[in-house]
Structures are given as C-alpha cells and as structure tokens.
Structure 1
Amino acid sequence: MSIWWSLHLRREAASVPLARRLLLGTMETAGVDPDISYDLSVALTEACANAVEHGGDEGSGGACEAYRVTAYLDGEKCRIEVADSGPGFPSRRACPAETGSALAEHGRGLSLIEELADHVHFGNGPGQGAVVSFDKVLKWREDALLRVG
C-alpha cells in the first residue's frame, strides 16, 4: 500500500505548520519511525518556508500567490516535492553549504534539507518557479500499518 497527497497552499507563514502537521500525522498513522518523521518534517518546513519567502513575483502582491506540496509514502521511501511560482533558482546556484554562515539568520534552509534527506534535487519547474524535491528511506515501527517485509 502507498499514500500520496498534494496541497495547494497560499504563500503565507501560517501554511507551513499545516503542511508539517499533515506530514507528521500521515507518517504517525502509517507507522513510520519517529526519528525519520521528524527529519522529513523539518526538511519540509524549510522547503515550505523557502517557497513562502521567495516563491512569488514581487510585483504581484506575494502573499496571494500559492505553492504546492506533494508527498508520496510507499513501503521503502518518502518523497516530498515543494514547487512555487517564483523566479526559480539561478542556473548556476551556489552550493547550499556556501550560501550562508552558521550564524546567519537566513540562507541555511537548503543546506539543512540536504543534511536531513537521502537524496535532494533543486531545480526549476517547466514554466517558472523553484522545485525542491527530496526523499528518505523509511524505517518502520513494529506496529506499522504500511510496513514492508
């Protein structure tokens, strides 16, 4: 069995905890190990915060625009994608580890996603906008509903 869901959210700070809670609830119900769930929820929070802050055309009012979060949970891994309608990533984006110092208040989110996930891809959508996708191999609790093997 597998689970997938997709959210279309307004670019508002209040949308970030909504996506995080839905992911955590899904994983808890399915029986994913809490440590894995936590790592993925922090990575999702960072990706959503990036979409809220940078994911729209500055001239069009920003907060009224939307971004999309999609999560796929199957027997072996969880894959999450966050896509916005902003300017996208520069064609030659600097390595996330080089984007901000350890004491900076901004610029560490993409690096954190890379640390928490097993595989990460930063790219641009077909028309415009940034797409952050990442996945992580799942570990299951003994009583898991979707446990494989």
Structure 2
Amino acid sequence: MSIWWSLHLRREAASVPLARRLLIGTMETAGVDPEISYDLSVALSEACANAVEHGGGPASGASEAYRVTAYLDGEKCRIEVADPGPGPGAGPVRVRTPRPARPDAEHGRGLFLIRELADHVHIGARPGRGGTVVSFDKILKWRTDPSLLTA
C-alpha cells in the first residue's frame, strides 16, 4: 500500500498539532502499529516546531509558510518538513549528533528527539530554493487488524 500527502502550512504554532493529527489518522487507518505512529508523530511535531520557530520571517524575506509531506510506501514511512528560512547553505549539511539538552533548558531537544525516534535523519538545504529540509524515515510495523482493510 502507498499513501502520501502534502500540507502547505502557515508558520504558526497551531499548525503543529494539525500535521500531527493528520499523520496519526493516516497511520491508524493504514494499520500501522500505534507505537510506531506515536514515535513518528513526536518526531514530526519537533520538525514542525523547528520550522515554525526557525523557518525565516519578515526580516529574512522568507515566506510565512512551510511544507510537510508524508509518504507511507510499503514497509517505510518518510516525512519531510521544508521551510524557507535561512537554511544551512548549499548542499547537504553534516550535523553533529546533538547532545541532550540540560534538564532546565526550554529548547534544544528537537533534533535529538528526531534522531532517537527515526531510523534515518537527513538535514539539508532545499535544492534550488534556499531554506531547510528535515527528512526522516522509519521502518513500519503493522497491526493485525487495520481499519482500512475491515471498512
């Protein structure tokens, strides 16, 4: 089974739960194991929160929107969050393994969580457009009674 969707969202905090709920609903309908769905939804929330907070703004001349695309294809889910912010520059970026944030820190856990919850993470520039793309994937496990097949 293959399912994909793409959202164009305003860089507002209210957009984060919208993307998360759509992902969870899609995975539940497709019959993905709830633990895998939860892991990916937390990783998506972190990537969206980064796009909302760091994805540019009027001062940078960047758009006030970002894009989320999810692909469930066979045994893998791939999620991409792209924003028009300043980005890491041209080409792929080598990102050091993030260290856990201090217990009293209010920020700095996003990339660490994404790396812990996903099987593969890539952070790079949006080709030909500027900005940043965070993509991550995870091998899927399936429930034995997917609602898509019983409906």
The alignment's TM-score, normalised by the length of structure 2, stands at 0.87
Task: Specify every segment of 5 or more residues in structure 2 that has no aligned partner in the other structure, as ranges.
Answer: none
SS in structure 1 of the partner of residue 39 of structure 2: helix
Q: 1:99 to 1:90 in 2, by over 3 A?
A: farther
* 1:43-69 deviations in Å (ceiling 9; x for gaps): 00000000000001351687x610000
For the residues of structure 2 that align with 1:93 and 1:74, how far apart are their CA atoms?
27
Query: What stretches of structure 1 move > 4 A for 4+ residues in a row?
Result: 90-94
Contact 1:2 1:72 in 2 (8 A): yes
Task: For 1:46, give the aligned amino acid.
Answer: E
Residue 25 of structure 1, CA deviation:
0.2
Counterpart check, 1:24 vs 2:24: yes
**Alpha-carbon distance between aligned partners in 1 of 2:94 and 2:58, rounded to the nearest angstrom:** 20
Q: CA–CA distance in 2 between the matches of 1:116 and 1:65?
A: 28
1:120 has 2:121 as partner: yes
The RMSD of aligned alpha carbons is 2.2
Residues 1:66 and 2:65 are matched in the alignment: yes
1:89 to partner: Cα distance: 2.7
Contact kept in structure 2, 1:85 and 1:130, CA below 8 Å: yes
Residue 51 of structure 1 is matched in structure 2 by 51
Give percent identity, aligned residues only.
Answer: 75
Q: How many residues align?
A: 146
TM-score with structure 1 setting the length: 0.88
1:12 equivalent in structure 2: 12
